[in-house]
Amino acid sequence: MVAKRKRRKTPNNTAEDISRPSRWRLQHGGFTEGVREADPETGGPVVHRYAIDTLGVMLNNDTITRDMHDAGAIFRRQFRAAALDTLRAMPLIRVHGGRSVDTTTEQQFQAREKVAAAIAALGGPASPAGACVWHVVGLESSITEWARRSGWGGRPIGHAQGQGVLVSALGVLAAHYRLAQKAVA
């Protein structure tokens, strides 16, 4: 004899509120308040909610200044243009003959030079600030994830210390990109 599964009855009045992000999506990070805009295709009104990244959260909490946030955004943009992230697409052009062809563009070379200069200003890739910016801002890992993987003297870094490293590194980046506002004496 096979037992039948009972189907759960859901009341019709508990329909999902489509004006808000789903419970599943909310568990993956915060969102900005809805921004009402016109749909580019239909012209009708729509509400857009944008996911908040680490730098956005830190800016909203007044942990970093606007200049530090902008410096992080510049670094992230250059990092993406340099194609240094770990996720790569398959090349659309394949050259037959078994030899590898360098498909790096001139813009990627220039962006890589800018990223290298920024990392050098932070003390190099092996320094805590350079590694933190590379992983948290460039690769968009969480501070906690970076802190768990990193460490000094064989001991892991705590989240608060990792956040402190990121804040100080963003201050150096703001000065490197000449965004830091001069203090009023």
CA dist 126 and 120 (Å) reads: 10
pLDDT score for 43: 82
Q: Give per-residue pLDDT as tens, 110-150.
A: 999 999 999 999 999 989 999 999 999 998 888 888 888 88
Q: Please provide the distance, in angstroms rounded to a whole number, between the alpha carbons at the two ends of the chain.
A: 86
Please state, rounded to an integer, the average pLDDT across all residues of the chain: 79
Over residues 78-87, mean pLDDT: 83
CA dist 96 and 36 (Å) reads: 51
Q: Whole-model pTM?
A: 0.66
- Nearest of 167, 174, 176 to residue 54 by alpha carbon: 167
In this predicted structure, the answer to whether residue 184 has a pLDDT above a threshold of 50 is no
In this predicted structure, the answer to whether residue 48 has a pLDDT above a threshold of 70 is no
pLDDT score for 41: 79
Using 50, 70 and 90 to split pLDDT, how confident is the model at 84?
confident
Best mean pLDDT range from 46-50, 96-100, 112-116: 112-116
pLDDT score for 183: 46
Lowest mean pLDDT among 47-56, 143-152, 166-175: 47-56
Q: How many CA atoms lie within 13 A of 69 on its CB side?
A: 15
pLDDT above 90 coverage of the chain, percent: 37
Give the pair of three-digit tokens for residue 165. Answer: 């490293």
